[in-house]
Amino acid sequence: MSKADILQWMEQNEETFTEMAQNIWNNPQLAFEEEYASQLQMKTLEQAGFRIQNPVGDIDTAFVAEYGNGKPIIGVLGEFDALPGLSQQAAVTQEEVVPGGPGHGCGHNLLGTAGVEAVTALKEKMTQEDLSGTIRYYGCPAEEVLSGKTYMAKAGVFDDLDCALTWHPGNSNTVMNMRMQAMVSIKFHFKGITAHAAAAPHAGRSALDGVELMNVGTNYLREHVKDGTRIHYVIENGGLAPNIVPEAASVWYYIRAESKKQVEDILERVKKVAEGAALMTETEVDHEITAFPYDTLPNDQLNEIMYRNMEESNAADFTKEEQTFAEKLVETINTQNDRGTFGNEVDRLLPVDLYYDKQLAGKSIQGSTDVGDVSWIAPTGMVSTTCAPVGVQLHSWQATASFGSSIGYKGMHLAAKTMSLTAYDLLVDRDHILEKAKEEFNERTKGETYSAGIAGK
């Protein structure tokens, strides 16, 4: 049985999904507010014959679309939230669409749409061959605040998966066989006593002093954590006016490390710093955890088959106009960077060759994603494709421009084909890939069971 008809169907229907991605790019919405993208994708999948579960985990924009019955159950993960302040035309100069508005600077307009394209094409093949098994598309909100999939995981929608497949826009065609970092998002709220800052400063206890002393202590802590750890923060609330001793002040921290256990250890030390700052300033402090994704757990068995299917999908070359667009866009970046988004060596601005460095297997790289949660529940494979020129970094206006251009759409279609062909292989599974992937998953988790790091929404 040939997979050529899957590719043929996708090529014939390519414009439908390009239009979907463009529409989502034109209507960017922030985490947990992605009504446009969520409704568009649900409607499309329901019309294609998928069963829809919505909402999920008390999140209106989270959904699961399912087709087929029985085992195996193959999941495809999608995302569709935008980033604040990255509104941008698909242009080589910085031109906001909406001043200060959101934009798809991480390419989630492409990420989710490729998943919809992949499962829709596969559904056609399943119908044609009367294949047994179940395919699911997961509409996952709020990846940018690293908690959407955690809430969905708490609702149990990933528990019966045999495996999951996903991808991310980048600037090379590669297998994501590295581990992204675990991370905690935590806010510390200090409470003091207000007073007139000039007439009676002695009567006040400054919550802002607590925040600032905490930050000083945490910055000294940086010297005593493992290499690769990241601790960064912003002061969300520093008070109301200089002549009022601040009664309330808040600071928002991200702590990243190689594993969830390492993050937990550092978090306890940061909490002690906060308590010390409160003691010094005679204030009170409490905290709230808003996200706590696991590190990603690669699966070599799934990555190998995704790599083979990316080869079979034949990456489209880029036109002279696209190359010119890429050159002009990169000229706006003050960098000597000659490596891809995920650290891949390349020799052209828009790589079409496939890259798979097995020496990077299992190594930790900076950055986090709530895909990590899913990867600790079921074996998960992940790739990246060329959707932006080398040198363009995620979360930039240049990235928004790329992901709303034909460059981004070509990379999206390659990812969709890769996932659809891989899911087909896993449904027929003549080589017992799933069994091997689960064995690898069990070896890597070493009996550790998943436990969500945040409370319910």
Tell me the pLDDT tens digit for each residue of 271-305.
999 999 999 999 999 999 999 999 999 999 999 99
With cut-offs at 50, 70 and 90, classify the pLDDT of residue 339. Answer: very low
Interval 358-374: pLDDT, tens: 888 778 888 999 999 99
CA proximity to 366, closest of 300, 423, 295: 295
Strand partners, 381: 165
What's residue 346's pLDDT?
45
DSSP string computed for 25-55: HHS---TT--HHHHHHHHHHHHHTT-EEE-S
In angstroms, rounded to a whole number, what is the distance separating the alpha carbons of residues 252 and 44? 38
Q: Which two tokens stand for residue 353?
A: 């060759």
Interval 129-162: pLDDT, tens: 999 999 999 999 999 999 999 999 999 999 999 9
Whether 338 shows a pLDDT value over 60: the answer reads no
What's residue 341's pLDDT?
47
Q: Strands 364-365, 284-291: parallel, antiparallel or unpaired by DSSP?
A: unpaired
Q: What does each C-alpha distance from 348 to 318, 370, 399, 455, 457 come to in angstroms?
A: 11, 31, 17, 45, 44
* Max Cα distance, the chain (Å): 84
CA proximity to 82, closest of 109, 112, 42: 109
In angstroms, rounded to a whole number, what is the distance separating the alpha carbons of residues 342 and 328? 22
Q: Residue 318 in 3-state DSSP?
A: coil
CA proximity to 283, closest of 353, 195, 206, 341: 206
Higher-confidence position of 287 and 357: 287
Buried b (16+ CB within 10 A) or exposed e, 76-88: bbbbbbbbeebbb
- Span between the terminal Cα atoms of the chain, in Å: 45
What's residue 344's pLDDT?
44
What angle is formed at CA 236 by the lines to CA 146 and CA 148, rounded to 5 degrees? 15
Q: Residue 362 in 3-state DSSP?
A: coil
Rounded mean pLDDT, 154-174: 97
Interval 397-453: pLDDT, tens: 999 999 999 999 999 999 999 999 999 999 999 889 999 999 999 999 998 999 999
What's residue 342's pLDDT?
44
In angstroms, rounded to a whole number, what is the distance separating the alpha carbons of residues 131 and 138? 21
- Cα-Cα-Cα-Cα torsion 63, 67, 73, 77, nearest 10 degrees, comes to -40
Q: Which two tokens stand for residue 63?
A: 């959904």
CA proximity to 193, closest of 205, 209, 176: 205
Rg of the chain over CA atoms, in angstroms?
Answer: 23
Q: Residue 257 in 3-state DSSP?
A: strand
CA proximity to 175, closest of 366, 368, 353: 353
Q: Which two tokens stand for residue 155?
A: 């609702």
In angstroms, rounded to a whole number, what is the distance separating the alpha carbons of residues 233 and 187? 9
For residue 349, what are the contacts with CB-CB under 8 A and spacing of at least 6? Answer: 323, 326, 327, 330, 389, 390, 391
What's residue 335's pLDDT?
55
